[in-house]
Amino acid sequence: MRMNQFFAYGFVIFGASFWGVTGLFVQNLYGFGLTPWQVVTIRLAISSLILFVMLFILARKYLKIKLKHLPFFIGLGVMSIALFNWCYFEVMERSSLSVAVIFVYTSPVFAAIIAKVLYNEKLTRQKIMAICLTVLGCGLVIGLLPFGGVPLSIETIVFGLFAGLFCCSYSIIGKYVSRFYHPLTITMYSMICGSLFMVPTSSIWTQKEAFMNSDVWVNILGISIISTVIAYILYTMGLSYIESSKATILSSAEIVVATLVGVLIFNEGITSWQLVGFILVFSSLFLTVFSFPRKVVKRRIYQFLFHT
């Protein structure tokens, strides 16, 4: 039995929302001297270990994969997770967090175009409108619009566009492998491949003192379990039942949650333009979820009224 589509949308939105609380744990880990690259390495390594132990004990059948699908897991781990984070951090270093975030949310544009080519997903009027609302809304939420005007170098723009491309690749590649594997399998092997790529380049072994602190482990478990394991499982579960381009649009819930965390937890101010951005992003989510064909809507209304 196929999952109810509304549940699939909900899984994607909740998964992205758990990504949005990542900052709660990351900022604390930075305070202990860990670099962004090392935080990502820890995040992937611990998350993949947790998933492996969980599956080994409870559901070993999900550990089985076919060798021919290994390149897809490598692509997810290296390109969609590791390289995405690298480009993301490069943009932060060269410009600002706001600029980095807005570049990441060019991913719905890439996802819609690539999904059209690979999966022949329709580029409908509603989908195009949702993409525009998402990008515009995110720009307002992070404060880049309406009076931004940040001068960027060619290198920064290239890194930013690649960040958006690598970000959307999780939806594109994950959509394909979700035909063959459970979300737990996809998530675990993607994390393992990403970890194997990142650990040798992270110099994580130089942070022995930090790992002796219990507060570090509290934040490591938080970012690994809540913002990674649960988030990716929910997102991948939803991705199995909806179009990858729609999933990418819905994932913009992350930026809304991240901003709310800043306002509610870290007492950051919120402007009227940010409120407008929230409305636009939520409008894009609403438009994506309720963009059913007219005949389907009529049939569902009829079934609801007459219980047929």
Mean pLDDT (10-residue bins), the chain, 308 residues: 72 89 82 86 92 92 93 94 82 69 75 79 81 82 69 80 88 85 88 93 90 94 91 84 77 76 72 82 74 44 36
With 0-12 / 13-18 / 19 or more C-beta atoms within 10 angstroms meaning exposed / middle / buried, residue 200 is exposed
Radius of gyration (C-alpha) of the chain in whole angstroms? 20
**Other beta carbons less than 10 A from residue 282's beta carbon:** 15
CA distance 197 to 200: 7
Closest alpha carbon to 231 in 13, 3, 10, 16 = 16
In the prediction, which pLDDT does 46 show?
94
In the prediction, which pLDDT does 194 show?
93
In the prediction, which pLDDT does 302 show?
34
In the prediction, which pLDDT does 220 show?
95
Closest alpha carbon to 291 in 154, 171, 141, 122 = 122
In the prediction, which pLDDT does 151 show?
60
In the prediction, which pLDDT does 222 show?
94
Q: Which residue has the tokens 């492998």?
A: 177
In this structure, what are the phi and psi dihedrals at residue 122, rounded to the nearest 5 degrees?
Answer: -70, 135
In the prediction, which pLDDT does 31 show?
86
CA distance 73 to 181: 11
CA distance 164 to 192: 22
Per the structure, how many domains does the chain have?
1
Is 186 strand, coil or helix?
helix
Q: What pTM, to 2 d.p., does this model score?
A: 0.72
Give residue 267's domain range.
Answer: 5-306
